Structure 1
Amino acid sequence: MATQIFLADKATLDATKSNTDTIKTNVGSNADVASASGSVHAKIKDLKTALESSGKMKSQLFTSNGSFTVPAGVTVVWITAISGGAGGGGGINGGDYDSGKGGNGGVTSFGAFLSLIGGAGGGGASQYSGNIATGGTNSLTDVPPSASYANGNPGNTNNGAGGPGWYSSFGKGGDGGTGSRRGGGGASGVFIKDYPIPVTPGAAIPITIGSPGSPGVGNGGGGNGGNGGPGALLVSWS
């Protein structure tokens, strides 16, 4: 799904105020009513034209796979994105059991220009006393200024919490499963902000959104890990 967002610049806001201030409101006779009505309609039309022609920043948010068509006259876009968060590992409640590892998050990409690897799944809890479920880790890309949003916590730290996400849920790592031994938390997706990419007007650029990592299955009465969060990608241009 893609959501388009419009942000008016100062010039547009000033034009809006000017148009609003000049609308005739001193209405008395029927002739005045007709004149005022015509004035209102004319000013609304002027306002619509001003909004459409202003240099406002526009953005389109993708939360599922899709395609972005570069608008006419646009030669650069800015990308903010996160890949899929990983699932948390399963927990155990004692006994001779091992639990499942959380699944890795999926890749978020913008055509051939940008690819962000998903977070790694949290480790499953183990029966062996010396083994602590590991937290998932990020794999950084070679595209600056990409950065790991956060690794998952080991099963014995912060209750195996997963890494945080963008706007809470996008790319979040799943928590480790509950039990006497908790699973490790899944890593967040790799995050990038306001990355400039040169583009060609009219080009259709495919967008892939990273899938959430699956939860590791608990064993021996332990809980399953948490799901990872899906990725997201925001395209901005002016």
Structure 2
Amino acid sequence: MHRIDTPTAQKDKFGAGKNGFTRGNPQTGAPATDLDDDFFDSIQEELAGIVEASGVAMDKSKRNQVLTAVKALLLSRAHPFADIKADGAVAEALSNLGLHETGFATLTTSGSFTVPAGVTELCISAVAGGGGGGSGGGGDSSFFGGGGGSGGAGESIVKRKFAVSPGTIINITIGSGGIGSIASTATGSAPTAGGNTVIGSLITLHGGQPGINAGNGQNTAPGGGYGQGFPTGSYGGDGNLSVGSGNGAPGASSPFGGGGGAGRAGTDQGTDGTAGSGYGSGGGSGGGKYGTAPLTARGGNGGNGAPGIVMIEW
């Protein structure tokens, strides 16, 4: 294509080398710009080339074929934004809009997370390990036992936002679940607390505390105390010689898992509490022995607490 270049064109009308048209001036003798076949052929073929490149057949009766052709050429697919992905330009397109690609990462074991390019804020949900459940009281001689106290849940956060810098490596420690007590004929082993979940320098979530083992006795058998946590566990039931009241307690639930089930008092031996489910919940506690249980019968074992988890959105 070219600008008008006949002898009567107005020279440099739009800048150096950019000729234009003039209507002429009879008073000064300046002629109007002459038009020639070369110029009109140039315009015709430029416009016809656009229409034909789009695959549209030229039609003398239509006046919108260049517009139709441009749309077809620039928006070449039924879903034009697919062009961006197919051309590998998603990151560039989002950056131009001040946005970034979204993503989700889940860590159930300790490791690290690298903040993606363009990301300046993370939305994190996480929980520390739940505490182990206490065991129920056993029997020696004519003793009977109460129910153990259950484990507390780990500290948690849900969709909390943190400012970060792209490329930062965040070291993450996932808190382990606490170990439930192993019962005996007297007092069982000490249950343990859940581990802390540490997310770099952003936040430390504290593990749930263990339940307390139940005592035994000839007249009354106190239930075990609850484990501190988020929330706390529950007290075990007091024991009674002839009535199965020395039941264990359910573990504390977290936003990411239900607490372990409680063991009941038993005439053979106390039944075991169960482990916390999901993530961050406390272990259920064991029930105590009572009534016609053997003199050396043990109480129920405490259930383990559930481990922690970290979920990251951006």
* Residues in 1 aligned to 2:201 and 2:84: alpha-carbon distance in whole angstroms: 41
1:115 aligns with 2:192: no
- Size of the aligned set, in residue pairs, is 153
Cα offsets for 1:39-69 (capped at 9, x unmatched): 69x9866455586647453221111101010
* Residues in 1 aligned to 2:297 and 2:82: alpha-carbon distance in whole angstroms: 68
SS in 1 for 2:248: helix
* Residues in 2 aligned to 1:104 and 1:83: alpha-carbon distance in whole angstroms: 10
Whichever residue aligns with residue 127 of structure 1, its letter is: N
With normalisation by structure 2, the TM-score equals 0.43
Unaligned 5+ residue runs, structure 2? 1-75, 144-185, 239-246, 258-277, 291-295
Unaligned 5+ residue runs, structure 1? 1-37, 139-147, 182-218
1:27-42 residue pairs with structure 2 within 5 A?
none
Give the aligned partner of residue 231 of structure 1. Answer: 308
2:106 and 2:311 in contact (8 A); partners too:
yes
**Residue in structure 1 matching 2:137, options 81, 92, 106:** 92
1:137 aligns with 2:228: yes
Of Structure 1 and Structure 2, which has the larger fraction of its residues in strand?
1
Give the aligned partner of residue 233 of structure 2. Answer: 152
Whichever residue aligns with residue 122 of structure 1, its letter is: G
1:99 and 1:126 in contact (8 A); partners too:
no
* Residues in 1 aligned to 2:237 and 2:114: alpha-carbon distance in whole angstroms: 47
Give the aligned partner of residue 205 of structure 1. Answer: none
SS in 2 for 1:160: coil
Whichever residue aligns with residue 131 of structure 1, its letter is: P
Whichever residue aligns with residue 75 of structure 1, its letter is: T
Cα 1:56–1:89, aligned 2, differ >3 Å: closer, same or farther?
same
**Residue in structure 2 matching 1:79, options 100, 118, 124:** 124
* Residues in 1 aligned to 2:227 and 2:297: alpha-carbon distance in whole angstroms: 22
Instruction: Name the stretch that deviates more: 87-96 or 161-170.
Output: 87-96
1:1-238 residue pairs with structure 2 within 5 A?
46-47=84-85, 49=88, 53=94, 55=100, 57-95=102-140, 97-128=186-217, 129=220, 131-138=222-229, 148=230, 150-156=231-237, 159-168=248-257, 169-180=278-289, 220-237=297-314
* Residues in 2 aligned to 1:234 and 1:71: alpha-carbon distance in whole angstroms: 15
Cα 1:110–1:151, aligned 2, differ >3 Å: closer, same or farther?
same
Cα 1:74–1:56, aligned 2, differ >3 Å: closer, same or farther?
closer
Cα 1:43–1:55, aligned 2, differ >3 Å: closer, same or farther?
closer
Give the aligned partner of residue 26 of structure 2. Answer: none
2:100 and 2:119 in contact (8 A); partners too:
no
1:133 and 1:155 in contact (8 A); partners too:
yes
2:105 and 2:313 in contact (8 A); partners too:
yes
Greater relative CO, 1 or 2 (CA 8 Å, sep 6+): 1
2:253 and 2:282 in contact (8 A); partners too:
yes
1:84 and 1:171 in contact (8 A); partners too:
yes
* Residues in 1 aligned to 2:299 and 2:248: alpha-carbon distance in whole angstroms: 14
With normalisation by structure 1, the TM-score equals 0.55
* Residues in 2 aligned to 1:155 and 1:51: alpha-carbon distance in whole angstroms: 57
